[in-house]
Amino acid sequence: MAEAVVAQAADGREIRITLLGDSDGLPLVVLPGGPCRDPEYLGDLAGLADIRPLAILHVRGTSKTGGTSWGWWNDAADAVAALDRLGLDSADVLAHSAGTRLALSLATQHPERVRSLALITPPSTWLSGVEYDGAGLVADREEPEVAQAFASMLGPDPTDEEAFQRAWEREQPAGYGHWTERERSHAPVGGMSLAASTAWFDGIPADARERILRAPLPPTLIAGGALDILTGVAPVRAYAEQLGARLAMISDAGHYPWVEQPAAFRRVIDPWATATR
């Protein structure tokens, strides 16, 4: 059963939070990717809500919270407001894709509020400095939609909302290790906008990367997709090493492993999710 609660941000913005699951224990705080994608695409993370309640943030720029992001570094203040609303002095935080930047920002600026991290298919080149190697994964794929998606990714950035939506639709096949009816059904779930996605990268301190790498981060799990064209593989391995994190690469999965390999995803995430509940 889903329940909605609201956290009050410092500027008065109401940050929406969806609570899923009625299992025992403190909720896992979940930060969606996108950036600023409506978090319905996460579902219940392959049934994870059955063993631990989920508190899923609708970050600034999503349709239910509205507004635009202050940038992933500064949006940590909203996450703190959500923790306060949930009555959590310290939380286990699970983040997906672009949301992993917000998770690292929160853990770096407010280390006392984060007990552990699980970072799912994190974009990694920006932090690891290792060259993107996703082109090799594209070469192994036979679906023409994947090649077309990758060509779109390499093209010019869209400059208006209509072009952004067209590009996002074209590029969806690159997010998956396969392109069957299962993936096609999941791909459109959870909208994004150009304005919100652009604002996500505003106001980031020039030394944000260095501050993250110097920070005493909590115990951290990285779950990568072995077929993730969006992140590549080598950058994710280096990212985990530089953060001092445990890395689990999920075979036969792209950017959304709970969709394509739900059982394998749960084998990776469940021990982390139940360790501190």
pLDDT tens string 91-112: 999 999 999 999 999 999 999 9
Q: Quick check: is 170 in a domain?
A: no
Indicate if the pLDDT at residue 1 is higher than 70: no
Q: Quick check: is 151 in a domain?
A: no
The answer for residues whose C-beta is within 8 angstroms of residue 248's C-beta and 6 or more apart is: 221, 222, 223, 224, 268
Q: Quick check: is 80 in a domain?
A: yes
Q: Quick check: is 145 in a domain?
A: no
**How many Cα atoms sit within 13 Å of 39 on the Cβ side?**
30
The domain in which residue 24 lies consists of 2-134+177-275
Round the average pLDDT of the chain to a whole number and report it.
96
d(CA 109, CA 150): 35
Q: Quick check: is 100 in a domain?
A: yes
Mean pLDDT of 174-187: 98
Residue 122: per-residue pLDDT: 98
d(CA 79, CA 158): 29
**Overall pTM > 0.85:** yes
Indicate if the pLDDT at residue 260 is higher than 70: yes
Mean pLDDT of 2-31: 93
Output the six-digit token pair for 267: 């084998």
C-alpha separations of 129 from 19, 72, 239 in Å: 36, 19, 8
Please report which confidence band the pLDDT of residue 155 belongs to, taking 50, 70 and 90 as the band edges: very high
Q: Quick check: is 197 in a domain?
A: yes
**DSSP-based three-state secondary structure for 16:** strand
% the chain with pLDDT above 90: 96
Indicate if the pLDDT at residue 58 is higher than 80: yes
| Residues 114, 107 contacting (CB under 8 angstroms) | yes
Output the six-digit token pair for 32: 């969606």
Indicate if the pLDDT at residue 4 is higher than 70: yes
Residue 25: per-residue pLDDT: 85
d(CA 91, CA 26): 8
Indicate if the pLDDT at residue 23 is higher than 80: no
Domain count, the chain: 1
Find, among 32, 93, 75, 79, the residue nearest to 220 by Cα. Answer: 93
pLDDT digits (tens, 9 = 90+) for 207-219: 999 999 999 999 9
Residue that is written with structure tokens 């959590």 in the block: 88
Please report which confidence band the pLDDT of residue 76 belongs to, taking 50, 70 and 90 as the band edges: very high
Mean pLDDT of 257-275: 97
Indicate if the pLDDT at residue 277 is higher than 70: no
| Residues 232, 212 contacting (CB under 8 angstroms) | no
**DSSP-based three-state secondary structure for 168:** helix
Domain of 114, CATH number, reads 3.40.50.1820
Kindly state the helix (H) or strand (E) to which residue 5 belongs, with its residue range: strand 2-8
Q: Quick check: is 252 in a domain?
A: yes
Output the six-digit token pair for 182: 């299962």
Indicate if the pLDDT at residue 39 is higher than 70: yes
Indicate if the pLDDT at residue 276 is higher than 90: no
Q: Quick check: is 71 in a domain?
A: yes
